[in-house]
Structure 1
C-alpha cells in the first residue's frame, strides 16, 4: 500500500512532552549495566549465547536483581506518556559517537557483534541499559519471529530493504502504525533510544486522542471490520491462520475522545475488502492523523516513549549511506503492569507469532 502520510520534513519537538533524566539517574543505570556486563564476561561459556537474544536466565536474574538499585527518579522519567500526544522524549544519557562503533549493515550483524568480546564495543552495554530501564517500568519482551527473538531490537537501514514498510527501510516513508498491531499481546509502551542520527531523520507521531471524528465515524471504526496482518519482518507464514477482524478504534468510557485507543496499520490492512462507508471513515481517520502529526528527530542518548495504545509512529524518508554513519536506534517492547487488553482480544490467534517473555513467571 502507498504511504499514507506526506513527507514530514519539518520537526515539531516542542509539541511533544519532554522530561529530563537526572544526571545521577543516568550515571546509576550506566554503572549498573557496566557491573552486569563485567559479571557476564567472567561467566564461563560462550558469550554469544547470552548476548544473542538477551534471554539467558543468568542475565534475566541479574537485571531483575539490579532494578531495585535504580533511583526512583529514573522510573519517574520513564513512566508512560501522560499527555494526549501519547509520546514523550526523555533527555538524555551521556553518550559519544565513538563508543558504539560503526552502524552495522543490519540487525543480525548488530546482534552478532553483541556476542563478540572484540567487536561489541558499548552497543551491548546499551542493550543492558535499555533492559534495566524497561524492567523498571514494566515487562520487556520480544517476538520469536522477529530479529531471532531478541529483546532489544536494532533499527537501522539495511541494503536491499530500502522500499519495505519495516524498520529496515530508508528511501520511502515508513507509514504511521501501531507497533505489532496484528497481535493481541502487542506492547503497551514502545521505547526507542537513539545511538546515532547525524541526518536528523524524523520520527512521526500522531495520537488518536487529538483527532476529530463524528459519532458515525467512531461507530464505523469501532466495529470489527478488517484484519490487520503481520508486517514483512515476520515472514509470510501468516496465511495458514484465520484473519479475524478487529476494531480500528475503541473507547474505555462512553464519552469517547479523551480515552480513545487504536490499532492502526494501513500498510497491512486489506482496505479494499471493506465497503465504501468504512473506507471513507478510515480515510478520514488517516487524514486526521496527518493533521495532528508531530515530528521529532532524536539526538544521541535521547529516548522516545510511545504509548502504543494511543499513538502511531513512523519515519520520514532518508538516503542511507551504508558507510557506518547511518541512523541507529534501539527498540524495546514493554508490557505495563497496570494496563490490560480488551477481553475480546483473548480469542485472537496472533497468526502464530509467539511472545518471548523471560521476565514473566512461567513463560
Structure 2
C-alpha cells in the first residue's frame, strides 16, 4: 500500500542556521570552493537532525526552516538569473543537509556545474519534461535516470509556492507488482535517453545502453524509470504490458506533496519517482521557486553492469572524489 500521508520530520533549525551563517560570513557564497571543502566538517553531528528517509517510506519532509518571502526578492526568470548571494543562506543550508546525509554533487552539463540548482518556470520551456516546465504534468521519473551515477537521494527545498503546486511521489515498494512483472522488467531491454536539460548528451552519437527498469537493492526493490525518455515502442508486447502495469501502479500509490516555504522534501531516488502537477506560470516574480541538490550515498550498491555505461559523455562534479 502507498502512504496516505507523507512523513514529516520536525527539525530545530538553530544549529543548522548558525553553521550556515558562519560559513557565509567567511566564504560569501555556496559556490566558493573553499566553503564546499568545509562542508563535511561543518555538517558533522547533524545526522540525527536530518537522516535519510526510512526505506519503507522512501521520502520525508523536513519542516522547521522558514523562507522570508520579502527578503528573497523576485523569483528569477530562469536558473541562470538566480543571484548567488541573495539566497546564499538557503544554498548553504541545503548543502549542509545534503552533507549530513551523504555527498552533494553536480553535473558539468547542467546549471553551470553548480551543486545547488534553482528550479523555476522559464519562458519557452513550458511544455518540456524538465523542472523549467509549467503547463504540462511533469511525468513521474527518477532524477537523471539516464546516467549510471545519478543521485541516491534528492533534496527539494521550497522557497516559494504560492499556488501550492504539488510535487508527486511514488515508491516502487508500495506498488502491487507480481513476480512475473518484476522478472520481465529486471531484464536490460530498453535504454533511457538523456532529458532535455542535457543538450550535449542528447546530441551524443554514442550507442544508448539498455538498462533494467527494476532491480533488488539492499533495502528492497529499486527502479530506474523515466517513461518520457524511454523508447517503449522498441520493446516487445510482454515488456510493454509489464511496463504499463508498473506505470499504473506508481500512479495508484503516488502522494501529492504541497511544499510550504521552508519545507525540504528528501526523496530516495533509487526507490521513489517524483513528478509535478501542471500550473500556470505568471512570470511576474512570484512563481514557484525550489532549490535542488543531488546526493550520493557512498557504499550503496547498484547493478554491477552500470559501471560499464558511458553516461552519454556527461560527467558528475563530485568535489570530494579522489582524482
Structure 2-normalised TM-score?
A: 0.95
Instruction: Please tell me whether the aligned partners of residues 139 and 360 of structure 1 are also in contact (alpha carbons under 8 angstroms).
Output: no
For the pair 1:243 / 2:208, whether they are aligned, the reply is yes
Instruction: Please tell me whether the aligned partners of residues 206 and 290 of structure 1 are also in contact (alpha carbons under 8 angstroms).
Output: yes
1:170 maps to: 134
For the pair 1:81 / 2:53, whether they are aligned, the reply is yes
Q: Could you tell me which of 11, 25, 29 is aligned with 1:21?
A: 11
1:4 maps to: none
1:95 maps to: 67
**Per-residue deviation, residues 276-321 of structure 1 (Å, max 9, x unmatched):** 1110110010000111011011001111010000000000000001
Structure with greater Cα Rg: 1
1:186 maps to: 150
Quote how far apart the aligned CAs of 1:13 are. Answer: 8.6
2:19 maps to: 32
Task: Go from structure 1 to structure 2 and tell me whether the alpha carbon gap of 1:252 and 1:359 turns closer, same or farther (over 3 Å shift).
Answer: closer
Quote how far apart the aligned CAs of 1:236 are. Answer: 4.7
Instruction: Please tell me whether the aligned partners of residues 3 and 57 of structure 2 are also in contact (alpha carbons under 8 angstroms).
Output: no
Task: Go from structure 1 to structure 2 and tell me whether the alpha carbon gap of 1:292 and 1:355 turns closer, same or farther (over 3 Å shift).
Answer: same
2:273 maps to: 312
Q: Which moved more, 1:222-231 or 1:90-99?
A: 90-99
For the pair 1:282 / 2:217, whether they are aligned, the reply is no
- Output the CA distance in 2 between the equivalents of 1:87 and 1:279: 28
Instruction: Please tell me whether the aligned partners of residues 195 and 330 of structure 1 are also in contact (alpha carbons under 8 angstroms).
Output: yes
Q: Which runs of 5+ in 1 are unaligned?
A: 1-11, 42-49, 115-119
Instruction: Please tell me whether the aligned partners of residues 158 and 169 of structure 1 are also in contact (alpha carbons under 8 angstroms).
Output: yes
- Output the CA distance in 1 between the equivalents of 2:138 and 2:280: 13
Task: Go from structure 1 to structure 2 and tell me whether the alpha carbon gap of 1:230 and 1:34 turns closer, same or farther (over 3 Å shift).
Answer: same
Write 1 or 2 for the structure with the bigger share of helix.
1
Q: Could you tell me which of 59, 77, 82 is aligned with 1:105?
A: 77
SS across alignment from 1:75: coil
Q: Which runs of 5+ in 2 are unaligned?
A: none
Structure 1-normalised TM-score?
A: 0.85
Q: CA RMSD in A?
A: 1.7
SS across alignment from 1:312: strand
Superposition misfits of 4+ residues, deviation over 4 angstroms: none
2:109 maps to: 145
